[in-house]
Chain A
Amino acid sequence: MKVEIKVGLKEGITDPEGLNIKKSLKLLSFDNVENVEVKRSYVIEISGKDEKKIREDVDMMCKKLLINPVIHDYEVEMIK
């Protein structure tokens, strides 16, 4: 099974990368750009079919490596 984990910044954390990209887009005269959020996406292939177990594993992966709870939120999407 494939699982997509999207890691983004928690609300209220300033995102210098997003701000810089926004600035660059404006410089390229995309004046209508309001906001840029940068997210990192991990697509992970996991063997097994037990969705509940996989979901638990994914949460542990996030906790142990993929996110820093101080700044990050994440969403998980199961892709068949």
Chain B
Amino acid sequence: MSSKQNVFEINLDLPDEKLLELSRKIGIGLSLDEMKSVKNYFKEQGRNPTDIEIQAIGQAWSEHCCYKSSKSLLKKFIFNIEAPQNIFVIKEDAGVVEFDKDYAYVLALESHNHPSAVEPYGGAATGIGGILRDVVCMGAQPVALIDPIFFGPLDLPYDQLPKGVKHPEFIFRGVVAGIRDYGNRVGIPTVSGSVYFHPGYTGNCLVNVGCVGIIKKDDIIHSRVKELGDIFVMVGGKTGRDGIHGVNFASAELDEESETSSRSAVQVGDPITKEPLIHACLEANTKKLLNGMKDLGGGGLSCVVGEMAHAGGFGAKVNLEKVLLKEKGMKPWEIWVSESQERMMLAVSKENLKEVIDIFDKWDVNAAIIGETITERRVLVYYEGEKIFDMDSEFLTGGPLYARDVKVVERDQKDIKTQAPKDVNEILIKMLSDPNIASKDWVILQYDHTVRGSTSLTPLYGDVVNFSPQDSAIIKPVEELNKGLVVSTAVNPFLLEYDPYWGAASAIDEIYRNIVAVGGKPHSLADCLNFGNPEKPERFGDFYQAVMGLNFATKDLQISFSSGNVSLYNESMIGSCPPTPTIVGIGLIDDVNNKISSNFKKEGNSIYIIGNTEREFGGSLYYRILGIDGGIAPKMNPENLIHYSKVLLDSMQKGIVKSCHDLSEGGLAVAIAEMAFGSDYGVEIELPIIKDMRADEFIFSESNTRWVVEVKDDKEFESLFTKNKVPFIKIGKISGKKLVIKQNGVKIIDAPIEKLRDKWKNAIWEHMG
């Protein structure tokens, strides 16, 4: 092969240390062993690789693309959990699950952590762009966006900021603006998410992005070619130098230099190219003109061509000079691995080609014919007639697999006896103004969550300008059906840091509770596992523990993971992020008009707590505020979760329950306050005497599988729950304008709702203004 086309031979006949140096120098981040197996492959071929070939291997074998550290664990403990409603899960960019007899919904969840740490606005925006493509490439119309995001503390003093790290406030502001500007412009409602602040995210923020789509079952399309002679048509944005080596960047720790050295790894989003691209792709698919469709994400053309051809049982031949470029003078390998945004690859048979091109013309979207499938299972790339790439797709897409060393850090947990605090009121106020509990309206109201006109329950909902946070959002995705999709997210990094196993199990408990709280039946899950460097046995031990916790909690639920993503190396010079297995859950509700919201509805109605409250304070907000490190992490029992949920849903269907909120951080006290915030009412709670527990402990415990409900008919409620042996306690009623909690006639909390609401509403605004 010549260098006429700006393609160079890479000499691999090198000693070990030079091989490793080469990997670093050309920015592909392969380990020595990996470089050696590349060397052996080309030795067998009797030649050296070209630069474009070795770059392609660098892309395909990155942690981000081939999951080399996590795959064996996930296969064994996560992806083997089955559920009958799954149609097509895990194997492609998004999971497909049955919605009703004619429709399916599509779920995808991903991380965009590293790009967002370097360039928050662009990184977050392109995260949204990427997840939308994952859903569109199954042929589905996106109907909802989900954004769990994690940052360092907003009040971090500037002089404590490590060199090369941006202030959490700056990153937070940029990420929210990026999600807002992309999501709002493309017209898909952002309805669910979470915001966490924890010192462990200071050097490495997490930006997870999820998307739900809806599709007629007949229209589901796969990310693979179908037959010999299928034409590859590349559509959407042009290809530029932006986003080169994004996946390699995502598979390394961040350091001081990351900002300057990785800037080119961040792509630039263009929602106004994306919007017609979505229309055009969906129109071509609905007209049955496509054989396959896949988005260009991590690894760009290099990954998409090989994977589409390989999955269809064929090879591919590409003419690289046909790719439309943003800038002149790009080298072939740069074109091949560029991660420029807003691009999709279609596989089209010859007879449909003209019609497909016409559709893209109509929408003013670029379409270029760049290659075709071939019988031999190889990827061949030509540039102006000259062959510059020739590799077998098995080797290219194979990638290494590792069984990383696992070191489980034992967590010795004991119950701690504490002194009763003097001023419980003050503790509740501290909780409500903790940024992790405080109202996220600064974020949520910037996102358009009602566009498409199908949002039936918004993330903040209540009495017009006063609102309660809702446990889930509800979308009505199909015009002719009243059936709804319930969308929620859950993970508590403080709990996972304290105990990865029970923290992960608790995330499953919480997602289930969240969905049930609005009247939904849990139906499927997606996970985005954000962890530190897997080459460090303790980090991988956390990963292992969390995976085992997810497995324990999920295996009997009859709902399973339809889609997932692993993001490792979330680590900077100041340490790893807390273990963060973000969970997105989807539930179904038969009629969106039967939704239950969390805000109080009517003065005089009774308040009940459902479930058992235990002395579980490990990783709790209460102990954080008291400055105590210790206690027992909340456990969960999947059988109870299923049973309690079933009875609660039954009581909702009977119309007995008027509002409902799950108990999570800050326990009962925070939940009740939040229910009052979206109403005009206060609440009077009279706690019974509870064995082994003080009143303050009872109201702040974070035990799993609990809800608070507002009940219209006490007798009917109590008889239903007693009959079904679900534990409950009547604790008070909606009344007045204050939050009052008493035990034995002694008030431990007594504060006007207005005052508590102000504390809760203003905490984040005070930083972000």
Contacts and interface: CB of A to CB of B under 8 A. Distances in A.
A–B contact via C-beta, under 8 angstroms: yes
Interface of A: 20, 23-24, 27
Interface string B744-769: 00000000000000000000000001
Q: Taking chain A's interface residues, is the majority helix, strand, or loop, or is none over half, making it mixed?
A: helix
Interface in B96-121: none
Nearest to A23: B769
Contacts of A24: 769
Q: Could you say which interface size class chain B belongs to?
A: under 10
Contacts, number: 4
B154 to A, nearest CB: 12
A63 to B, nearest CB: 24
4 contacts: A20-B769, A23-B769, A24-B769, A27-B769
B169 to A, nearest CB: 10
B746 to A, nearest CB: 42
B401 to A, nearest CB: 49
A27 to B, nearest CB: 7
A69 to B, nearest CB: 26
Q: Taking chain B's interface residues, is the majority helix, strand, or loop, or is none over half, making it mixed?
A: loop
A27 B167 CA distance: 14
A70 to B, nearest CB: 25
Contacts of B769: 20, 23-24, 27
B611 to A, nearest CB: 43
A27 B767 CA distance: 9
Nearest to B766: A27
Contacts of A23: 769
Contacts of A27: 769
A27 B769 CA distance: 9
A24 B769 CA distance: 8
Nearest to A20: B769
Nearest to A27: B769
B763 to A, nearest CB: 15
Nearest to A24: B769
A49 to B, nearest CB: 26
Contacts of A20: 769
Nearest to A26: B769
A23 B769 CA distance: 8
Interface centre among A20, A23, A27, by most chain B C-beta atoms within 10 angstroms, is A27
Give the top 4 A-B pairs by smallest Cβ distance, nearest first. A23-B769, A27-B769, A24-B769, A20-B769
B121 to A, nearest CB: 16
A23 B766 CA distance: 12
Nearest to B167: A28
B283 to A, nearest CB: 30
A24 B767 CA distance: 10
Interface in B701-723: none
A24 B167 CA distance: 14
Interface centre among A20, A23, A24, by most chain B C-beta atoms within 10 angstroms, is A24
Interface in B26-55: none
Interface string B270-285: 0000000000000000
A64 to B, nearest CB: 20
A78 to B, nearest CB: 28
A21 to B, nearest CB: 11
A27 B765 CA distance: 12
A2 B683 CA distance: 67
B168 to A, nearest CB: 14
A20 B769 CA distance: 8
Nearest to B173: A24
A36 to B, nearest CB: 14
A1 to B, nearest CB: 23
A40 to B, nearest CB: 16
Nearest to B158: A28
A38 B417 CA distance: 58
A39 B769 CA distance: 22
Nearest to A29: B158
A24 to B, nearest CB: 7
A58 B769 CA distance: 38
A67 to B, nearest CB: 21
A15 B410 CA distance: 57
A23 B768 CA distance: 10
B715 to A, nearest CB: 55
A13 B576 CA distance: 49
